Every structure is written in C-alpha cells, then in structure tokens.
Amino acid sequence: MRIGELAESAGVSSQTIRFYERQGLLAEPARGANGYRVYEESAATRLRFIAMAQAAGLTLSQIRSILDLRDQGTTPCQHVTTLLDTRLADVRRRIRDLLTLQTELETLLQRSRLLDPGDCADQDICHILSPSQ
C-alpha cells in the first residue's frame, strides 16, 4: 500500500509516517518503480502499536526500545511491564502533586475572599500571595 493508504489505515498523517521513519520507529519501505513508498500491512500494525504506546504515556524513545527488542526476536512483554510500572508511578506522583496544588489554590482563594483589597500595603505586590500575617 502507498503512504496515503497506510496513513488512513492507521489513523495518522503521512507526515507522521515519514517522521517515524526518520526516528527509526518504522523501517524505510521498499520503493515501487515509480519511486513511491510501498508498505506492507505490518507497517499499519506497527503504527497502531505506536499509537497505543503513546496513549499509555510512553515516550518515543521507550517505544523504540520496545520495537528494537521485538525486531531482535525478543518478546518485549517484561520490558513493557517495567515501563508501564514506571509510568504509573509517575502518574501517581503527579496526581499527588496536583492534589497538593489544588489544596493550596483552594486555600488562597478562600483567603482572597476574606481579605480587603484596600488593606494591601505597597510592600505587598498582592496580599493574597504574600506570607500570612
């Protein structure tokens, strides 16, 4: 299939396919007599895998490491599990950080409702965000 057909089949743009080729995520395809790229169905499978891996939050570098293992004939499942464990830990840490930020913002908003703008001193840029008095 040609690049436009592959793009449609995998739900990506032709530019994305070319980018993945440059990044080594997708092998350079054979060329037809007319010079057009000719892709195998396996390219669509690979593109769908890349999309799923990205949706799981994996980086292109991590995805490349998975594909490299598979291309070497190794089943990458343990490696994928490790990457997903790490990603989940990162997400949980970010959620904790966001919950802390949420509490801080709620506190500041509550404070803003209690403070009188007329009481804001010149040395305060804004007394809502100044140290508590």
Can you spell out the DSSP letters for 16-66? HHHHHHHTTSSPPPEE-TTS-EE--HHHHHHHHHHHHHHHTT--HHHHHHH
Judge whether 115 lies within some domain.
no
Residues 30 and 74 in one domain: no
Sorting pLDDT into bands at 50, 70 and 90, what band is 132?
low
Greatest alpha-carbon span in the chain? 79
pLDDT digits 0-9 by tens, 63-100: 999 999 999 999 999 999 999 999 999 999 999 999 99
Residues 60 and 81 in one domain: yes
Q: How many CA atoms lie within 13 Å of 72's alpha carbon, on the beta-carbon side? A: 9
Among 34, 50, 66, the domain-final residue is 50
Contact by Cβ (8 Å): 72, 31: no
Sorting pLDDT into bands at 50, 70 and 90, what band is 129?
confident
Residues 40 and 63 in one domain: no
pLDDT digits 0-9 by tens, 22-59: 999 999 899 989 988 899 999 999 999 999 999 999 99
Length, in residues, of the chain: 133
